[in-house]
A and B are shown apart, each in its own frame.
Chain A
Amino acid sequence: MKFKKVSIILLVVSLVFLLSVSVMAADGEIIVGIGEEPDTLDPNKTTRFHSYMILSHIIEPLFTLDNEYNVVPLLLESYDWAEDGSKMTVELKEGIKFHNGTEMTSEDVKASYERYFELSPMANYLPGDKGGIYQIDTPDKYKVVFHFENAKPLALYHMADAHVGIMPKEWIENTADNEIGITKLVGTGPLQLDEWISGEEIIMSRFEDYNHGPDFISNQGPTKTAKMIFRVVPEDATMMAELMSGNVDFSFDVPPSSVDVLSKRDNLRVETAPTYSVQYLAMNMKREIIQDKKMRLAVAHAVNKEQIAKAAWFGVGQKIYGLINKATIGYWPGIEDVAYKYNPEESKKLLSELGWEDNDGDGIREKDGEELSLTLITFSNIDQWRKAGEIVQSQLAQIGIKVELETAEVGATYDRAETADYDIGIFRNTWWLGQPYLRFLTHSSGIGSSNYGQWSSPELDKNIETAGDSMSLEERTEALNRVQEIVVETGIWVPLVSNAKIIAAKDDVAGLDELLSHPWWPPLMRALLLHKQ
């Protein structure tokens, strides 16, 4: 009997020992390869995707999205939103600590929201001057009251965006503005910023006091990995070689061209999924030649999306019909019937109707002695865009349009698009919520900047606004569907390919299955779950 007891004790002890060993083994670091270096990690200044992805490990918003697209509290105990949408009261969780050791209070939330309203180019829905939050009260340490001027039905989604992440008030006030997001960043997130070595890597380490992971993630405490290092690997070939040689453990910037080769490696796991990010073509309505709808339709009918998906995306992307695709909130299946089909004969007919004919036999149409020539701009530094540009160039050549391809870095290309200095362009958008994205892209307030088509109509404007402001879900949906329809029907915006999200991980990276169960593989889950086995 005694022997049995002893052996049970021994068994328990050894189990505990084994468990603790396995926990200790979970320590260590994960090296994440990123294809683009962030411009800044200041959540209120950046508009770049990579900055957003990386700062989301450090800074958290009040809400987050679960794997069924529901907005759920993250830093909150509970929230109460008045029926008419005029007031939202939130109760903060007690005992949430910032990386600098101070506790998060209502004052910090207020200061962070105010800074977001003041600085962020992304703040186009929530701020008071957009009919949103005009006042923030802090009746006690853990209670925040947001007062809305008009009803803002999508407010929760916007409040789940890390661009309005919570930072400590005192720290914001005492830190130089050009240090925030460059050398320092303090939030409540599972990882804290140790060091950003420009051009090399961003080093983050586990925040031991983290205690508020959302319910849909199995780990709510501190991260399992001791460190996460984001290494800047700006070249596709290099990223691929780094993954193959094992210098990088994980990457969400895997070039589509390498999927085939990487999938065949024994020590790597490669996963792809459609994403909310899309590749589309836009035409500049400030140009006289584009203003004729026949010209736009000629271009739209001449573009073969399948070829782009095949050659530019190596089969990883999928052709799309609307600007909002299946993985985005607000997708409307009816768009398939609206979209213009590939039909080069129709294009040729339209061009002939406009009076463009190839009389000298050089393959390029001309009218009144002038060649039919368009300037196409796109990104030089992302292969899938540069190649889509070359493919569209060759497709338009087949119907007799000469295309001057002018590629430049992403920012420089958008500068040209915003200032209407182009004829047609191939751009990207990455946003998981349909309405704000279409507002950004097609509302009349964006003309001269983010409305790259440089066009809108009262009907389009009205529907965009209804889709964002109506308290009735049915009305909002109907309006958003109509927006999608108008946008494609005009021929100004031609959706091309839905991007694929690709990740690659070494086989000793654990926690991947759970991460993949969420449609977006969000940064928060990445931080809480991934670790080396």
Chain B
Amino acid sequence: MENKLNTSKTKSQAKESRFWRRFKKNKLAIFGAAIIIFIILTAIFAPLLAPYDPAFQNYDKLLEPPSFEHPFGTDDLGRDLLSRVIYGSRYTLLVGIGVVIIVAVLGSILGFLAGYYGGKIDTIIMRMVDVMLAIPALVLALAIAGALGGGIWNVIIAIGAVGWTQFARLVRGEVLRIRESEYIQAARALGAGDFKIISKHIAPNMMAPVIVYITLYIPSAILWAASLSFLGLGVQPPYPEWGALIANGRSYISFAWWIATIPGFAIMLTVLGFNFLGDGLRDALDPKMAKNI
């Protein structure tokens, strides 16, 4: 362990190439990454890809089934569903990323405090986590979103506010593990301050599990946001968030099945992509991590 300090550079290089080798071998992970890149490109180039204005209402074409003109059909106000699904990817990615930022910031700060300083701070934060875990996250997110009122930013806040607990636990565990390691003891003995230890030694060592956790957390955030929208507490009409599209199509499911079903495939594809990628990253970084996350 002692020479880890000296050889960390070459070791990390070796780690990197091993990571890539393992990652590239995992076909599902590559497939997942491809899906996500596809969704991101769709979101960025939505105005170029969408055949129609997603808000354009054509009252002569209400609830038309998929056709050459409208590959995904039209909705109850005659809007082109394909264009709406394309634009919807923006909301889904925004929610996923927004929530993850909140969760990562809140979770890291609280997890760090708990893990690094221990003692009373640790007890208080961990009790808070226990309390939060006693209330189903979705139930609490619903109640908060209801209190704040709908809208995409409130959805992000509501889900972020309840989602940090597992992340804080993870960070705390990692900090504890690293803090006890010999090289941190050594650094401390050499007189390094808290800030230096955290920024130079602890934070870089935590990047791997954090990235894996984030990748695996995004799909949950997406699913929760879609659920909130579906229940009418998320993104408001007429914005074409996928969960809201499904909620809208639900009234017509027995004779216009395409409105509710097609956006569901879009959600599933995105979530699947992140799950494949997350699994792949985890296996490639450290096969043994599987059990901790």
Contacts and interface: CB of A to CB of B under 8 A. Distances in A.
- The reply to whether chain A is a binding partner of chain B is yes
Interface of A: 235-237, 240-241, 244, 255, 257-258, 261, 307, 310-311, 314, 380-381, 383, 386-387, 389-391, 393-394, 397, 405-407
A311 B76 contact: yes
B236 A406 contact: yes
Given A235-B251, A391-B57, A257 B76 contact: yes
Interface in B52-88: 55-57, 59, 62-63, 76-78
B235 to A, nearest CB: 11
Contacts of B55: 394, 397
Contacts of B250: 235-237
Interface in B210-260: 232, 236-238, 250-255
B236 A407 contact: yes
B56 to A, nearest CB: 8
A381 B251 contact: no
Contact of A237 (B59, B63, B253): B253
Nearest to A306: B59
A374 to B, nearest CB: 15
A380 B150 CA distance: 11
Contact of A311 (B77, B150, B232, B254): B77
A35 B254 CA distance: 17
Contacts of B232: 380-381, 407
Nearest to A409: B232
A261 B254 contact: yes
Nearest to B63: A257
Given A235-B250, A235-B251, 15 more contacts: A237-B254, A240-B254, A257-B251, A311-B59, A311-B62, A311-B77, A381-B232, A390-B238, A391-B57, A391-B77, A393-B238, A394-B57, A406-B149, A407-B150, A407-B237
A235 B248 CA distance: 11
Size bracket, chain B contacts: 20 to 34
A394 B252 CA distance: 22
Contacts of A386: 237
B16 to A, nearest CB: 47
B78 A311 contact: yes
A393 B251 CA distance: 21
Nearest to B238: A390
Interface of B: 55-57, 59, 62-63, 76-78, 149-150, 232, 236-238, 250-255
Contact of A405 (B76, B78, B237, B252): B237
A237 B252 CA distance: 6
A380 B232 CA distance: 7
B254 A244 contact: yes
Contact of A236 (B62, B77, B78, B251): B251
B251 A255 contact: yes
Contacts of A261: 254-255
14 contacts: A235-B251, A237-B251, A257-B63, A257-B76, A258-B254, A311-B57, A311-B62, A314-B62, A380-B232, A383-B76, A405-B236, A405-B238, A406-B149, A406-B150
A442 B232 CA distance: 31
A389 B237 CA distance: 9
B57 A257 contact: no
A405 B254 CA distance: 28
A235 B253 CA distance: 11
Contacts of A257: 63, 76, 251-252
Contacts of A311: 57, 59, 62, 76-78
A237 B247 CA distance: 11
Contacts of A405: 236-238
A146 B55 CA distance: 59
A26 to B, nearest CB: 32
Contacts of B59: 307, 310-311
Given A307-B59, A381-B232, A390 B77 contact: yes
Nearest to A308: B59
Contacts of B237: 386, 389-390, 405, 407
Of A241, A257, A261, A407, the most chain B CB neighbours within 10 A belong to A257
B251 to A, nearest CB: 4
A396 B62 CA distance: 20
A73 B76 CA distance: 46
B97 to A, nearest CB: 24
A389 B150 CA distance: 16
A307 B63 CA distance: 15
Contacts of B149: 406
A235 B251 CA distance: 7
A80 to B, nearest CB: 52
A255 B254 CA distance: 13
A257 B63 CA distance: 10
B245 to A, nearest CB: 13
Contacts of A393: 238
Contacts of A390: 57, 77, 237-238
Nearest to A394: B57
Nearest to A236: B251
Contacts of B63: 257
A399 to B, nearest CB: 15
A387 B255 CA distance: 18
A423 to B, nearest CB: 16
A383 B57 CA distance: 16
A237 B253 CA distance: 6
Contacts of A387: 76-77
A406 B233 CA distance: 11
A384 to B, nearest CB: 10
Nearest to A389: B237
A410 B170 CA distance: 43
Closest 7 pairs (CB-CB, A-B): A236-B251, A311-B59, A237-B253, A261-B255, A390-B238, A237-B251, A394-B57
Contacts of B76: 257, 311, 383, 387
Contacts of A236: 250-251
A286 to B, nearest CB: 20
